[in-house]
Chains A and B, each alone.
Chain A
Amino acid sequence: MIKTKDLHIGYHRPLLAVENLDLEAAVYILVGRNGSGKSTFLKTISGQIQPISGSVELDGSDINQLAVNEIPKKIAFVQSHFPTVDFLRVSEYIALGRSPHSNYFGKLSSADEEAVNEAIELLGLADFKNRFTDQLSDGERQLVSIARAFAQGTEVIALDEPTAFLDYKNKALILEKLIELAKKHGKCIVLSSHDIDQSLNSSCPFLIVNEKTKTVELHSESIDKPALLKKAFG
């Protein structure tokens, strides 16, 4: 689903090299110290910034060859902050995820509406789908953001620190939901996180920004905490 080849990333000058990756349906947890380039990596694989060199393939297409309105059909991106908007209901917010598929005026087809309802069901949001988004708690906001990304119908979802502002219980809930999406719906999910303990418990594969070699490395086999800390934080 995500393939990289000879990829070097950074803003204007190389920051990190990326191991040649071939990521399939699973949740990949991206770890690294602050400022190590996690966001740069996520932005590069989602086409927001150009690679310095090398290529990123999403679902068989080179992301840099895709038009701006084609990229959101391949990858959904969840930012760490939730936009504060007055008078926007949860269901309407999730429906905006269908924009890449809807017609010129943004009118939803019955298939679009089905996708929105499925996302609402899947993330357990039926009870507050009519609430305004500015009335949600931090945990609810993350669930709603993930629902929008799911409704977008892409095979790949990237999330920039989705659990950053959450308490322990909500962090666990979000990770659990994402693992469910990857397993049951065949999604390839990449998320950045600082919650090493929780991530280790999840037994998800890691993408580690190696502090020493300045490389993004994939660790599919289990890794213990000291080894992970040493690689990511030196």
Chain B
Amino acid sequence: MTATSIRNRILIWTLIVLLPVIALLHLFAGQITISFGDFLDSIFNFDGNNLDHVIMLELRIPRMATALIAGAGLSIAGLLMQTLFNNPLAGPYVLGINSGASLFVAFALMTGIPFFASDLGLIANALIGAFLFGMIIVFFSSIIRQQISLLLIGLMLGSFTSAIVTILQSVSGLQELKLFTLWTFGSLQKVSLDQLPILIITLAITILGAFLVVKPLNLLVLGSGEAKLLGVRIKRVRFFIILITALITGVITAYCGPIAFVGLAIPNLIRILLKTQNHAILIFVSLLCGGIFLLICDIIIQLLESSFLIPINAFTSIIGAPFVILLVLKRLK
């Protein structure tokens, strides 16, 4: 066993232990102090008249689970896109997959039609938007060669979307405008206990889907040309990856708003830490690291909550954007 693989094992086990610890810390990071006993009782002896039980079961546990699922899901989506497009700066946010979901959610929220603003309506719209923009990116990736051009196209899709959203904002009513603006802040608090299964199932499908394409992913790091020479059915794999990326990004975006940089930063970070291109390991560690990262972000937000409120999207951008600048500088050297 090489030194790197021993180090990686230690790192992975540390993350496995760290995840439940951080998740537990997250449950107790809110402004109202709740005892550990009440936490256990809220699960095993729930009393609807006990406010602490209600806060724990109906607010904190869904918020913690949402942070974990959104972080894990977006990280896996970012990893898949970076490998698919053979571009370390790719990710659902940069390539405009989020923009697609945002645009369709904007349509949904600002048309004022009740079905569109319902859960199902939002998810359906976000999924359609994410998938549509995913296919646009696939189309462009098949006709352009330079990696940077694809990022520019993603950026342009983002600008195009913002322009349309601005027009929508200028013509929509005050109530719809408020609803949409709040959504763009990103939030991990909107998912109720009843809605959690949708997020859990979506993440489970994403993880399963990602593991199903481990072999093509390991070959795609060589570029799609080489992967094809080694037997990868490129079109089929590309479609499948876009489908699962759009699914997880769409569902998370619908519920939590656009959360930037997690999908971009985490997969890069773990590649640097683990020094491997084995996607069986990268997928698993993306899941752990992405979950831990968003949980920590949300713990900090909760600790600062009494002084000022930071939207989750702003917070991940504040941490993520400098990291991406560092990454670009490292690559340009």
Q: Interface residues, chain A, CB within 8 Å of chain B? A: 46, 48, 68-73, 77, 79, 83, 85-88, 92, 96-97, 99-100, 102, 104-106, 130, 132, 152
Contacts and interface: CB of A to CB of B under 8 A. Distances in A.
A77 B229 contact: yes
Given A71-B231, A92-B277, A99-B231, A83 B218 contact: no
A69 B233 CA distance: 7
B230 A96 contact: yes
Contacts of A85: 221-222, 277
Contacts of A46: 229
Contacts of A97: 230
A96 B229 contact: no
B223 interface: yes
B271 A86 contact: yes
30 contacts: A48-B229, A68-B228, A68-B233, A77-B229, A79-B226, A83-B221, A83-B223, A85-B221, A85-B222, A85-B277, A86-B271, A86-B277, A87-B271, A87-B274, A87-B276, A87-B277, A88-B221, A92-B277, A96-B219, A96-B222, A96-B230, A97-B230, A104-B215, A105-B211, A105-B214, A106-B214, A106-B215, A106-B218, A130-B2, A132-B275
B20 interface: no
A72 B229 contact: yes
A114 B230 CA distance: 19
A132 B4 CA distance: 12
The 3 closest A-B pairs by CB, nearest first: A106-B215, A69-B231, A72-B231
B229 to A, nearest CB: 5
Nearest to A148: B230
Contacts of A79: 225-226, 229
B29 interface: no
Contacts of B226: 79, 83
B280 interface: yes
B232 to A, nearest CB: 8
Contacts of B276: 87
Contacts of B225: 79
